[in-house]
Chain A
């Protein structure tokens, strides 16, 4: 489930990458633009340093601070002179190499900038009127890129990063939020898909109003579920139909066998027909057990149920030479499907009859509470077969009769849908005990 980055994360990462790319393109654009306009860069450089010089000049220790001003970054050499309003020199910074520059001119009455060498290395001159009416005149020499880099960075910062970044970040955050919101229905649908249960094939996913893509996916998923349910129904009804269709030929077979002359061959054939009949019945019950959920609606009194089933089964037991005793220990009612529960109980009694010794009684105990017990006095079962008893198509060794080994599996399946469990034990004094116990919640 958690494999790979989430969609929200993927979209966010891509959006951030796109924003970075766009910013880079903008910066490169600015770089290209400015490198074609070096006089403008020169102007910005002079203005920036005039500002620095003014700051030093208006500090508490003008002379000290002025002498500590570092040359513009990337400059090979520089010089400047400050005149007061009366055009008198109040400070002068000598260049490192005398002769690098022409003599600085007296300030005029306006700011100016002049680019002496337009190719590398450049030499630029400029003069600025300071807020305290003083004038600073400077000369700077250096390689184009190092010299203008800082100016360029500042330009890029003020004209690209500052206006664009907040908007970009805001848009990014909004995007993440929006994407998260848009994908919320997808997470909801995923939870619903996870909760799908093959035994409740009628369940469908809730179709979200938006977004259209998720809606389309959910609708497609629901259509797929329709087809799946149809396929399962076809399979179920096929099993049921097959079971039905087999009954008439089976009847013919049974009646033909009955018409045979008595003898060991006839008895063997009779057993075979009985085994086939049980198999057909169990196939049908198995197919129906899977569709039982919606039909568990009746209130079934367990004492009445046990009595009805014992009534039905007693002639079978008598024909086999054994007996059934019904014992009511205060059974309650449960919510269920009466006929399905009757089949479970008659299956258990039928098994008990098959394994019961002659002249011994099978006890059918209803209660106490929501519980049914069938107890025979046969050989019981070995510990290693206990775990296998309820497996489909598992058949125990030993005396008994031919069968498909579906009876207990069907019983378990039907009971599970009723919120009841079935357990098998060996009685201390011999015989098997099958206990059906309803959980507290599933009782009426």
Chain B
């Protein structure tokens, strides 16, 4: 997992680099738009962490330039701009996520993983949270490296939840993943599938929990 960090404050850049390295990411650092363009040309990155207020210009110009060049590398904006309209400007500009300073490394790492887990992105092969892992190619689920039997419908459900781990996944999105099996979906099909998945995970001693987001959907959290 190779990440490019574009941040002009050397202290902050160092702290972020250290933190993310501990979380298992490889980080290259640069401190200006110009350096970022050079680095971008020299190597391929799975994700760009971009500060907006750079000494030689606005980080958004880099976002626009990359998107114009059909470069779809995920971009996570790390910025001091927390104004009411800033987030929208950032996302409309082509960035994939927007994190306002100050942030915790854990939060940043979670956002990075979420971006890398998106279909087609670099973390597409094995999704994991806590001691639960799902191989998207073999469709196998492991808890503590022990393979457990999960029917395809529940694997699909777990995949959706793992792709957006620690975030709420809406009901309709989850229901769609059940529809793809061509079976009739009864009104409480989702509830019963979730309930069965919960039991299976608990039985396997998983340290993750499927929580109900009442009125919205479900979310997978790591148990503390």
Contact = CB atoms under 8 A, between A and B. Distances in A.
Interface of A: 240, 243-245, 247-248, 250-256, 258-259, 273, 277, 281, 284-285, 288, 292, 295, 307, 310-311, 314-315, 318-319, 323-328, 337, 339-340, 343, 361
Contact of A255 (B16, B214, B216, B224): B16
Interface of B: 9, 11-12, 15-16, 18-19, 53, 80-85, 87-88, 100-105, 166-168, 211, 213-216, 219, 221, 224
Nearest to A241: B80
A255 B83 contact: no
A250 B102 CA distance: 6
B216 A339 contact: no
Nearest to B78: A251
Nearest to A284: B82
Contacts of A311: 167-168, 213, 216
Contacts of B19: 255, 258-259
A247 B82 contact: yes
A339 B88 contact: yes
A173 B15 CA distance: 84
Q: Is the interface of A mostly helix, strand, loop or mixed?
A: helix
Contacts of A245: 80
B69 to A, nearest CB: 29
Contacts of A273: 102
A307 B216 contact: yes
B214 A325 contact: yes
A252 B81 CA distance: 16
Given A310-B215, A324-B214, 7 more contacts: A247-B80, A248-B101, A255-B15, A258-B105, A295-B85, A339-B84, A339-B87
A74 to B, nearest CB: 93
Contacts of B213: 310-311, 314, 324, 326
Contacts of B103: 251, 254
B149 to A, nearest CB: 28
Given A240-B83, A258-B105, A273-B102, A252 B12 contact: yes
A166 to B, nearest CB: 70
Contact of A259 (B15, B53, B168): B15
14 contacts: A244-B53, A244-B82, A247-B102, A248-B9, A248-B12, A250-B102, A254-B102, A254-B103, A284-B82, A307-B216, A310-B213, A314-B216, A318-B219, A327-B214
A318 B221 contact: yes
B50 to A, nearest CB: 14
B84 A340 contact: yes
B215 A247 contact: no
Contact of A315 (B102, B105, B215, B219): B219
A288 B80 contact: no
B211 A318 contact: yes
Given A318-B211, A318-B221, A326 B216 contact: yes
Nearest to B219: A314
A244 B105 contact: no
A281 B104 CA distance: 16
Contacts of A339: 84-85, 87-88
A72 B92 CA distance: 106
B214 A361 contact: yes
Contacts of B87: 339
B15 A252 contact: yes
The interface centre, meaning the residue of B19, B100, B101 with most chain A CB atoms within 10 A of its CB, is B101
Nearest to A310: B216
Contacts of A248: 9, 12, 80, 101
